[in-house]
C-alpha cells in the first residue's frame, strides 16, 4: 500500500506499531524533561493558564499518568503530542517524564499534531486555519487531499482557511473570542479591510449579534459585498457523524498515548 493510501486511513495508521512502515518502540521510556523540544509546527499557539495550573497540580499529586509522544531528532526528542503535559511537568518541577517514542518523518509529525488538535473545541478557528494553511503550503496538497488525510469535510478546511483572508485585526478578534465565526462570515463579505476592521470594532463595542451585524452590513455600498465564500457550513468543531472510523480509532489511540 502506498503512502497516500496509508495516510488516508487516518491516525491509527500513523500511530500504530509496526504498521507498513510506521514503527514505534515496543514500550515507553522515561527521559529528562530538558531533552524534549517542542514541535515548531504545533497548531496550538495559546494555552489556557487556568487549565495548565490545574494540570500542574494534578501532576504534582499523581505524576504524568500517560506518556508523551515523541520522536528522536539529532540525539534529542521532539514532541509530537502532549505539549500541555510537558509544560505542566516543567512547571511542576519534574526532571523526567514518560514518553512513547515513534519513528515519524516531518510530514507525519505535522499530520499527527493536526489530528490531535482539530476536533478539540478549545483550539480556536484561527489556530486551526493556520495549521491547515501551513500544511497546504508546505506539502502542496489540495484542500480535498488534506481533508481525506484527516477524515474531515473539505468545506471545513476551505472555509476555515478563508478566515486568513480577513484583516489581521479581525483575525485576532476571532482568536481571542471577541467575535464568532458567524460574525466572520458576515465580515468576509466586505472586501475593504479597513471597513472590516471598523465593523469588527462596532460588533465588539456594541455587542452586536450576527443578525444585527448582517443588518448593519446591508447598509454598506454594494461594491463591498462579496458572496463568493459560503460560511454557513463547517466553521466550528467537526461534527461527530462526519468522523470516519479511522479518525475515531486515531483519537482513541492518541488519548491512550498522551
> Residue ranges of the alpha helices (H) in 65-175?
83-91, 106-118, 125-139, 143-150, 154-162, 168-175
* Grid cell at residue 76: 534529542
Domains by residue range for the chain, with CATH: 3-106+242-257 (3.90.1530.30), 158-224 (1.10.10.2830)
Residue 23 in this model has a pLDDT that exceeds 60: no
Q: Are 163 and 129 in contact (CB under 8 A)?
A: yes
Decide if 83 is catalytic: yes
Using alpha carbons, select from 135, 162, 136, 157 the residue that is nearest to residue 147: 157
Residue of 56, 83, 108, 111 with catalytic role = 83
Residues 6+ apart with CB under 8 A from 51: 84, 122
Q: Are 222 and 192 in contact (CB under 8 A)?
A: no
Q: Which helix (H) or strand (E) holds 179?
A: none
Q: Is the pTM of this model over 0.75?
A: no
pLDDT at position 118, please? 72
Which tens digits make up the pLDDT trace of 44-81? 777 778 888 888 999 988 888 888 888 988 888 999 88
- Measured CA to CA, the distance from residue 109 to residue 152 in angstroms comes to 18
Which tens digits make up the pLDDT trace of 166-215? 999 999 999 999 999 999 999 999 999 999 999 999 999 999 999 999 99
State the pLDDT confidence band at 217, using cuts at 50, 70 and 90. very high
Amino acid at each position: 500500500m502506498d503512502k497516500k493510501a496509508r495516510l488516508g486511513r487516518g491516525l491509527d495508521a500513523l500511530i500504530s506499531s509496526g504498521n507498513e512502515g510506521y514503527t514505534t518502540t515496543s514500550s515507553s521510556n522515561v527521559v529528562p524533561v530538558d531533552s524534549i523540544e517542542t514541535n515548531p509546527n504545533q497548531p496550538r499557539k495559546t494555552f489556557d493558564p487556568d487549565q495548565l495550573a490545574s494540570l500542574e497540580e494534578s501532576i504534582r499529586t499523581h505524576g504524568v499518568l500517560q506518556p508523551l509522544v515523541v520522536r528522536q531528532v539529532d540525539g534529542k526528542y521532539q514532541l509530537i503530542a502532549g505539549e500541555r503535559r510537558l509544560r505542566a511537568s516543567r512547571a511542576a518541577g519534574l526532571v523526567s517524564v514518560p514518553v512513547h517514542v515513534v519513528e515519524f518523518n516531518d510530514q507525519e509529525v505535522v499530520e499527527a499534531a493536526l489530528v490531535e488538535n482539530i476536533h478539540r473545541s478549545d483550539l480556536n478557528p484561527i489556530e486551526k486555519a493556520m495549521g491547515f494553511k501551513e500544511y497546504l503550503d508546505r506539502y502542496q496538497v489540495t484542500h480535498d487531499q488534506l481533508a481525506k488525510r484527516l477524515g474531515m469535510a473539505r468545506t471545513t478546511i476551505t472555509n476555515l482557511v478563508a478566515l486568513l483572508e480577513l484583516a489581521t485585526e479581525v483575525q485576532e478578534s476571532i482568536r481571542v473570542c471577541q467575535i464568532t465565526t458567524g460574525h466572520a462570515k458576515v465580515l468576509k463579505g466586505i472586501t475593504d479591510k479597513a471597513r472590516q476592521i471598523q465593523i469588527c470594532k462596532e460588533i465588539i463595542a456594541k455587542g452586536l449579534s450576527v443578525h444585527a451585524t448582517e443588518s448593519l452590513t446591508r447598509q454598506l455600498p454594494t461594491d463591498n459585498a462579496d458572496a463568493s465564500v459560503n460560511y454557513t457550513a463547517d466553521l466550528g468543531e467537526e461534527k461527530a457523524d462526519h468522523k470516519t472510523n479511522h479518525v475515531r480509532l486515531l483519537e482513541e489511540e492518541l488519548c491512550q498515548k498522551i
